[in-house]
Structure 1
């Protein structure tokens, strides 16, 4: 049997400990409620994007509620709120600087919309697709490293949100989900240059027409939003003369996720069309080509000296 009188006496003599136990119970109930609501939303919402945002929203609201309850609970009244906040902030600033900066970074990412899940970014020298943003870390699927072009390496990278304050952030998809790309073609001197120019521009216009049309609307929005000059959206071709060949530089706009594939299509189609010109257009190379071996004359007639 529990001695109620002894229990009451213990409670009266240990008010702080009792308060801590009560708060732990409240804390547990709130955390359980957060998890139950997250599971409910996961089952009820079929759209992946909406489900992710709803779950993150519930998580943030729950954590904010816990902080406010802790401050009010242990401060005794709301009038001491600012004093407690000041002391709490000063202590954390000294002992948990990186953690606070990470939490501040997550708030900054959310409010300013620096990036969001689904964006392709480069931050702190790491490039990849953002797959999750929580209160401390940004999780990315890495691109590049030992893998060429814009392919996944297979590594999942967790990066502190504090890095949004420590350096530049390159966003490939925000506002304008297209990038400019280019490659060079060496054409041998003596080729039909006018035919080569018209052929390359025609191929580029056909393959890139979808990206050109889609990007024009987005680029107009960017020009209206930011202080930036208008740019050429259609494929362009520039020619420069070198010691060995005529260099064709093709510049074009493409979806940031299809850069490698589109470059493959352009190169393959141009190669086939050059082969069909029956020698009118010839690709140059840096190999040494021997055009003609000079004639050698050997005089076999000679007098033998004694």
Structure 2
């Protein structure tokens, strides 16, 4: 009995599995410590969010790399099998792979970021989270008038950035033009009407016109 236990404990496969568990635990402890003690101190919400996402991505990458290194001596004879299995998996999970590619495009292509108001896959709302496979959106509109939230949280596959246009209402130019039509009776004092409307518009909009001009100049330079 003791001989069997020793044989099991000193089995190379068991040693590698134990090494993998310890190594993965160590990697993610370090990642979580960095996220909690370093990234959490970043004041800007967007930069803090991106830093934490990048930290998680590095954790996944190091985990895969560590497992590959541990079993590197066993991979030589399985190259063909992995190739065939990889082709089958790629075909079966093509939507997942497309969503992952969409995530890379979103993170590094500047499609949108957390907090932006977008229309993606026919859904309009504010981006709550950008996951590896899906973007979480707090939906607006539908049965609710205006741009108010309707209470639905929608998960949209990241692959939609390759299939449909991505409308970003909060991009480099965070202003939208709109139109208000005010009917005026024929024969009215048009000059007086213009003065009244212009005065009201300035009171309501304040310095938004100047801010929009500054943003427009910034967008042109970019």
| TM-score (norm: length of structure 1) | 0.62
- Say which of 16, 19, 33 aligns to 1:19: 16
Larger Rg: 1
Root-mean-square deviation (CA, aligned residues, Å) is: 3.1
Summarize the Cα distance change of 1:85–1:131 in structure 2 as closer, same or farther, 3 Å threshold.
farther
Q: Give the number of the structure whose residues are more often strand, by fraction.
A: 1
Match of 2:4 in 1: 6
Deviation at 1:19, TM superposition (A): 3.3
Q: Which runs of 5+ in 1 are unaligned?
A: 226-306
Summarize the Cα distance change of 1:90–1:71 in structure 2 as closer, same or farther, 3 Å threshold.
farther
Contact 1:38 1:55 in 2 (8 A): yes
Q: How many residues align?
A: 221
Q: Which runs of 5+ in 2 are unaligned?
A: none
For residues 227-269 of structure 1, give each alpha carbon's deviation from its aligned partner in whole angstroms, at most 9, with x where no partner exists: xxxxxxxxxxxxxxxxxxxxxxxxxxxxxxxxxxxxxxxxxxx
Q: Give the number of the structure whose residues are more often helix, by fraction.
A: 2
Deviation at 1:50, TM superposition (A): 4.0
Deviation at 1:25, TM superposition (A): 4.0
Match runs of 1:187-226 below 5 Å = 187-225=184-222
1:135 aligns with 2:132: yes
Q: Distance in 2 between matches of 1:117 and 1:32?
A: 26
Q: Distance in 1 between matches of 2:8 and 2:137?
A: 52
Match of 1:63 in 2: 60
Q: Distance in 2 between matches of 1:44 and 1:202?
A: 45
Summarize the Cα distance change of 1:85–1:196 in structure 2 as closer, same or farther, 3 Å threshold.
farther
Q: Distance in 1 between matches of 2:68 and 2:88?
A: 14
- Say which of 153, 157, 170 aligns to 2:154: 157
Deviation at 1:41, TM superposition (A): 4.4
- Say which of 68, 73, 76 aligns to 1:76: 73
Contact 2:90 2:97 in 1 (8 A): yes
Contact 2:8 2:14 in 1 (8 A): no
Contact 1:41 1:51 in 2 (8 A): no
Summarize the Cα distance change of 1:201–1:39 in structure 2 as closer, same or farther, 3 Å threshold.
same
SS of match in other structure, 1:132: strand
| TM-score (norm: length of structure 2) | 0.83
- Say which of 170, 173, 176 aligns to 1:173: 170
1:182 aligns with 2:179: yes
Deviation at 1:36, TM superposition (A): 4.1
Q: Distance in 2 between matches of 1:140 and 1:198?
A: 42
Contact 1:176 1:219 in 2 (8 A): yes
Summarize the Cα distance change of 1:15–1:78 in structure 2 as closer, same or farther, 3 Å threshold.
closer
Contact 1:144 1:153 in 2 (8 A): yes
